[in-house]
Amino acid sequence: GDSVTQMEGPVTLSEEAFLTINCTYTATGYPSLFWYVQYPGEGLQLLLKATKADDKGSNKGFEATYRKETTSFHLEKGSVQVSDSAVYFCALDTGANSKLTFGKGITLSVRP
């Protein structure tokens, strides 16, 4: 079945550090890929997405490139801020049944 694997957390970084959060997937067909973010006390919200191979999703300084050859969708940001502290979820949707499959999520803490 479809699955998403995220790197183990938590991750703690200093402000302005470079961020990479790894995500790999297993799916039939050609899924759409997503990163969702959950700020403390809130629900998940879409951060960025990519719908086909080699697409790059970007938002708020975050980027992720859909790599079909490595079945990956790693999230990167060049300079993190304290306000980026949150839980980040990688997800996929094959479109076959319209449900999103989420990874376990990873907690990012950015210290001043």
Pick between residue 44 and residue 110 the one whose CB is nearest to another protein: 44
- Closest separation between CB of residue 104 and another protein, Å? 4
Q: Which listed residue (10, 29, 40, 43) binds another protein by CB under 8 A?
A: 43
| CB 105, min distance to another protein, A | 6
The DSSP code sequence of 50-106 is E-STT-EEEETTEEEE-BTTTTB--EEESS--GGG-EEEEEEEE-SSS---EE---E
Is there binding between residue 44 and another protein (CB under 8 A)? Answer: yes
